[in-house]
């Protein structure tokens, strides 16, 4: 992540961003030992911005066709 952020800074960007899929707590493919990555991303300076959302479509394992998945953006100032 540090190299990605350094590259963004070299390109003149002030903010690093990514979006992550939002799965329901009862998602059928959720492993029994699942741990959210929210703490990891927070520890690296990223903050979840639920007001910044989109959807991406792909076919999950077990799906017959693509379906839209909700995605939420995480931002980090690079100052």
Which pTM value belongs to this model?
0.86
With b meaning 16 or more CB within 10 Å and e meaning fewer, what string describes 7-46? Answer: ebeeeeeeebeebeeeeeeeeeeeeeeeeeeeeebeeeeb
Give the pLDDT confidence of 3-61 residue by residue, as tens digits: 999 999 999 999 999 999 999 888 888 888 999 999 999 999 999 999 999 999 999 98
Q: What is the pLDDT of residue 27?
A: 87
Q: Domain boundaries in the chain? A: 2-77
């Amino acid at each position: 992540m540090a190299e990605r952020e350094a590259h963004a800074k070299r390109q003149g960007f002030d903010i690093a961003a990514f979006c992550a899929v939002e799965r329901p707590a009862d998602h059928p493919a959720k492993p029994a030992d699942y741990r959210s990555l929210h703490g990891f991303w927070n520890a690296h300076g990223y903050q979840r911005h639920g007001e910044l959302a989109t959807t991406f479509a792909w076919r999950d394992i077990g799906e017959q066709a693509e379906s839209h998945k909700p995605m939420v953006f995480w931002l980090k100032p690079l100052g």
